[in-house]
Amino acid sequence: MTIQELGSIGEFVAAIATIATLIYLALQIRHSSTLSRSAAHQEVLTSHRELLRQLLTLNPELEEIQFRGMRSFASLEPGDQRRFHHVMVEFMLHCQNVMQLREKGILDRQEAAVWVGFTLQLLRMPGSGEWWESAKGIVNPDFRAEMDHLLQEPGESIAEVLPFYSIEGAA
């Protein structure tokens, strides 16, 4: 075998090794992307669960303020309006985070739609809507614009989806 033939065999082997390396890297990137999306999904679930647990489940007084505020923000005492405001800001920041993860392709669009839909259901309550109109200037302008656009579309409030949030018959 001549040196030229050996060189050709070496180039062929190098080409195969390069292709194998590229395939391996593509698989690793796909696996890494899947793990990132799974971690983001888990974080969204965990943060929302923790938000509900810390703010509302473990604090019946705050949960009652939240319930009354969704019905009528203006009827709350100033201190209760501030508490309601803080809870709603947490919900809005959570939804904003979900939308950012969706736009980056980290969170699936259908999964994000569930969280955005929940936030819209909250904002379609009369008191939550009052709050949104007065407080929406504090959120990201792109988020605000998308939420305002989505609120123009027909949809249900949380009271229509979950009867125990119903305004009628509420204490």
Place of tokens 């303020």: 65
Residue 140 three-state SS: coil
Question: Model confidence at 40, in pLDDT bands (50, 70, 90)?
Answer: low
Q: What distance in Å separates the CA atoms of residue 136 and residue 14, rounded to the nearest whole number?
A: 59
Read off the pLDDT band of 30 (50, 70, 90).
Answer: confident
The helix (run of H) or strand (run of E) holding residue 25 is helix 3-51
In the predicted model, is pLDDT for residue 69 greater than 60?
Answer: yes
Instruction: Indicate if the pLDDT at residue 97 is higher than 90.
Output: no
Residue type, 7: G
